[in-house]
Structure 1
Amino acid sequence: MTDETLPTRSDRVAGGARGRRSGLLFARDVLVVVVIALLVAFLVKTFVVRSFYIPSGSMENTLQINDKILVNELQPSVFPLSRGDVVVFRDPGGWLPKSPPVARNPLAQAADTALTFVGLSASDSDDHLVKRLIGLPGDHVVCCDASGRITVNGTAIVEPYIVLPPGQKNAATLAFDVTVPKGRIWVMGDNRYDSQDSSRNQALPGHGFVPLDHVVGRAAVISWPVGRWTWLTDYPEVFRGVEEKKE
């Protein structure tokens, strides 16, 4: 007697085929989701937010060596920058020494390339600088007054974020008296006597100014380590009394 509830061979073959098709459809859906996620991550990294790490102490104590920051790329591409913003920018030319080549095994290099692609790593951090924006296009920036302060458009600013060596009062290592050209900004590190900033690069062809099209964006937050997570402020009270000047 035959039990009609038992699957026949053809039923088992059909069931196996359906299982394989289901597996292939599942794999396809997973692949599509992964590709879309990578594309979204790439677009976010390219146009909205990007990660960088801090390789030097030029922005201490605001930023520490090996901090990781998230940079808002909508400034200045969509929204304007403000005095006091912490900005990341490409080397305008000659500000940084040539980085020695770093030997990596192929697996580590591939992993870092992939993470950089989606914005989770920052393999080009050594080719960029991070400084605080002091002068906008058209600003007259001078250092220093009798009290060692920088003046912007004739107004002395008191900068609570800067670090000066004991016995030093001047807010810059070198004197300057500049008017920021159109399409340029004047930037300085918070650790004023250990920073390759605008004041230190006046002798270069760019005279210490940073082209706006070199600015990647405004550093918005310290994302790592967790214990240092914080929003980065532009200290609006420092520049509140500075009058605007046309370019």
Structure 2
Amino acid sequence: MPHTPGEPDSTPQKPPKKKRPFWQELPILLGIALVLTILIQQFVGKVFLIPSESMETTLHGCTGCFGDRVVVDRVTYDFTNPTPGDVIVFRGPQHWTEHEIAPQDTGNFVTKTLRGLGSLVGFAPPDERDFVKRVIATGGQTVQCCDPQGRVLVDGKPLDEPYVHWTDPANPVQQPFAPVTVPAGSLWVMGDNRNNSCDSRCQGGGGVNGTVPVGDVIGKARFIVLPPSRWSGVSDYDAQHPAALGAPAWQQGLPLGAGALLAFPALAAGRKLRRLAQRN
């Protein structure tokens, strides 16, 4: 029946929908944050656990200490190649892993799932055999050790390497190796803990077999996120060109934090869509 002006409107009104309490929305927020975190880590930046002391003291992985968790930028190398001084995470090339015994697949479905989720956010070692080292030379360059002062040479020029850690500071001597010309599309990598790292010098027997194809690089280590006492950027000091400065590590941010921040606007957008659907 049409409403007559001046008369009270008898049309039944829908009671306003009560806003869902925060404790009910919290699981939704956490779920969205987790999904966004996984997506961000797969395509933008991933958190890795450092299980080895080969990068001391730049990255902690020492026996008995809390290993560093680092954010690895997975975007930069989609547009450019690794350069000298970059700290990179990469899959072990065939020459590095061909003699290793494959890890046993133990645990039930729940254990495997939890371990997989843990590796995604850096609280468990990743399943694949990944390594973290510093780029010393790139394709076409010749690297060798050492000059009379015990320094690594690239194309005959000594490197300035302030990041090198000596297990015995009173005896800063590293093992010499013959000149190696790095193949095009490959990298020569070494650990900062120079006398306690099996890297391009020894992996695969050393030489060309010790180089790492650029295609095996997962990303660039940008920021230490755990433990809190170690919060800092990861140095990408170019020992070939000491005056060159890398991009600030803080630009990459923390994937988990980004996921949590993005969860709120995503939930708000979901609410708006539900309201529009109810009106229609």
Query: Which category of TM-score, normalised to the shorter sequence, fits these structures?
Result: 0.7 to 0.9
Cα deviation, residue 202, structure 1 = 5.3
What is the CA-CA distance between 1:128 and the residue it aligns to? 0.6
CA, structure 1 residues 55+34, in 2 after alignment: closer, same or farther (shift >3 Å)?
closer
Matching residue within 193, 196, 208 for 1:194: 196
> Per the alignment, do residues 224 and 175 of structure 1 end up closer, same or farther by CA in structure 2, a change over 3 Å counting?
same
Change (3 A) 1:122 1:138: farther
Aligned residues: CA RMSD: 3.4
Whether the 8 Å contact between 1:88 and 1:215 is mirrored in structure 2 is yes
Structure 1, residues 16-50: CA drift from partner, whole Å, max 9, x if none?
xx99xx99xxx9xx76x777655433331111101
126, 137, 152: which one aligns with 2:139: 137
Q: Which whole-Å deviations, capped at 9, do the CAs of 1:62-116 have from their partners, x for residues lacking one?
A: 1112111110011322233221111001111353543653754654432232344
Correspondence for 2:75: 74
Out of 217, 226, 230, the residue aligned to residue 228 of structure 1 is 230
Give the CA deviation at 1:229. Answer: 0.7
Task: Sort the Cα spacing of 1:150 and 1:202 in 2 relative to 1 into closer, same or farther, 3 A.
Answer: farther
Amino acid aligned to 1:223: V
Which residue is 2:104 aligned to? Answer: 101
Whether the aligned pair in 1 keeps the contact of 2:95 and 2:209 (CA below 8 Å) is no
Distance 1:176 1:202, change over 3 A: farther
* Aligned-partner residue type, residue 73 of structure 1: R
Name the % identity: 33
Contact 1:221-1:231 at 8 Å conserved across structures: yes
Q: Deviations over 1:180-214 (max 9, x none)?
A: 11110000001111111001125269521001111
Structure 2: gaps of 5 or more residues: 1-13, 62-66, 244-280
Cα 1:176/1:126, change in 2 over 3 Å: farther
The answer to whether the Cα contact below 8 Å between 2:45 and 2:71 also exists between their aligned partners in 1 is yes
- Following the alignment from structure 1 to structure 2, what is the Cα–Cα distance between the partners of residues 213 and 152? 22
Give aligned pairs, total: 220
**C-alpha separation between the residues in 1 aligned to 2:74 and 2:83?**
14
Is 2:213 the counterpart of 1:217?
Answer: no
Give me the whole-angstrom Cα distance separating, in 2, the residues matched to 1:94 and 1:81: 20
Distance in 2, Cα, partners of 1:202 & 1:108: 33
List gaps (5 residues or longer) in structure 1.
1-13, 243-247
Q: After the TM superposition, which residues 1-247 of structure 1 pair with which residues of structure 2 at under 5 Å, given as runs? A: 37-65=33-61, 66-95=67-96, 97-98=100-101, 100-101=103-104, 103-104=106-107, 106-117=109-120, 119-124=121-126, 127-166=129-168, 168-171=171-174, 173-201=175-203, 203=205, 207-236=209-238, 238-240=239-241
Query: In 1, are the aligned partners of 2:90 and 2:131 still within 8 Å (CA)?
Result: yes
Q: Secondary structure at the match of 1:110?
A: helix
Counterpart CA distance in 2 for 1:183 and 1:239 is 19
Cα separation, 1, equivalents of 2:124 and 2:76: 19
State the 4+ residue runs in structure 1 displaced beyond 4 angstroms.
33-39, 102-106
Deviation at 1:138, TM superposition (A): 1.4
Q: CA deviation at 1:125?
A: 6.2
Q: Which segment drifts farther, 209-218 or 122-131?
A: 122-131
Which stretch of the first structure deviates more once superposed, 39-48 or 93-102?
93-102
Describe the shift of the 1:109–1:229 C-alpha distance in structure 2 as closer, same or farther (beyond 3 A). same
1:95 aligned counterpart, secondary structure:
helix
Q: Against the structure 1 CA distance between its residues 78 and 39, is the aligned structure 2 distance closer, same or farther, given a 3 Å change threshold?
A: farther
Counterpart residue identity of residue 68, structure 2 = D
TM-score norm. by structure 1 comes to 0.74
Does the aligned pair in 2 maintain the 1:174–1:199 contact within 8 Å? Answer: no
